[in-house]
Amino acid sequence: MSRIDLHLHTTHSDGSLRPSEVLTLAKAANVSALAITDHDITTGIPEAMAAGQEFDIEVIPGVEISSFDGQSELHILGYCLNWQDEAFNRQLATLRASRHRRNPLIIERLRAAGLDVTYEEVKSLAGTESVGRPHIARLLMQKKYVTSAKEAFDRYLAEGKPAYVARELPTPEEAIGWIREAKGVAVLAHPTWVKATGEGLRTCVTALKEAGLGGVEVHYSTHNKTQTAAYLELAQRLGLLVTGGSDFHGITKPDIEVGYGRGDLKVNPRLLDPLKEASAHL
Ligand SMILES: [Zn+2]
Ligand SMILES: [Zn+2]
């Protein structure tokens, strides 16, 4: 049986593999359809589509936008959108500019902590417009300050650590609005990031639905069975679509595989048609 994977990152944001390399892994994993969902950027989509034709894998145009609701950083996935829409891409460019203001501040703090790193080194390692903290983590690994990306975050980069710098982010409602304007379906990524459970979670997702949210990422690499069941129940109760994906990043998240997550992820290809139908009605 084939599977799908609707959450994948490439070198166009903070993944370590090119789109065509991700598609090669997807082919080996018997993935029949996938979405490249790079952070705040759509430039990886053409290469993915070309490779998709070659490997006979359906490529759904996607994106992942970071947002902040005042309490939690929420990531909003966009699917089946007009990824070449000019207004949408201008909006994404503005978001990336806010990262460009943040990254040098992070580097300053790392230098103040005694680490010999420069922003030029991060940019040349990243080789993309969408530079993020995982690139900084990789530089710290290369320079042997840490042995893993996780250690880089735990010691320096995560919220509350010495090199953490808050970022200006849109609200989830704004991110959903941009995706909708580009005729895409907006989906709440990894809902475990919502810092609320039970009734609080339901209230949060209900508000997002009112803002135009179309689905919830029920199936995800780190979800246990209880979480998957709870998010499925929530999506069904609110009449939201169910999606799923690995959040593959390559070397930055070495335990996550395309199509399989940590080994037990399986996203059913049947979830794809409702998503495409929803986008056709936008
Ligand atoms: Zn995310
Ligand atoms: Zn992601």
Q: What is the pLDDT of residues 49-68, one digit of tens each?
A: 999 999 999 999 999 999 99
> Is 71's pLDDT higher than 90?
no
Contact assessment for residue 46 and residue 59, using Cβ atoms and an 8 Å cutoff: no
186: CA distance to ligand 1 center in Å? 13
Q: How far is the CA of 189 from the centre of ligand 1 (A)?
A: 6
For 73, counting Cβ atoms within 10 Å of its Cβ (0-12 exposed, 13-18 middle, 19+ buried), the class is middle
**CA-CA-CA-CA torsion for 43, 47, 48, 51, nearest 10 degrees?**
180
How many angstroms separate the alpha carbon of residue 115 from the centre of ligand 1? 27
Q: Whole-structure pTM over 0.75, yes or no?
A: yes
6-48 pLDDT, tens digit per residue, is 999 999 999 999 999 999 999 999 999 999 999 999 999 999 9
> Which ligand neighbours the alpha carbon of 191 most closely?
1
Separation of CA 7 and ligand 2 centre (Å): 6
Spell out which residues have Cβ within 5 A of ligand 2, the ion: 64, 247
Percent of the chain with pLDDT over 90: 89
Residue 220, helix vs strand vs coil: strand
Rounded (5°) CA angle 44-48-50: 125
CA of 78 to the centre of ligand 1 (A): 12
Summarised one tens digit per residue, pLDDT across range 204-246 is 999 999 999 999 999 999 999 999 999 999 999 999 999 999 9
Residue 130, pLDDT > 90, answer no
Residues ≥6 apart with Cβ < 8 Å to 152? 136, 137, 140, 141, 145, 146
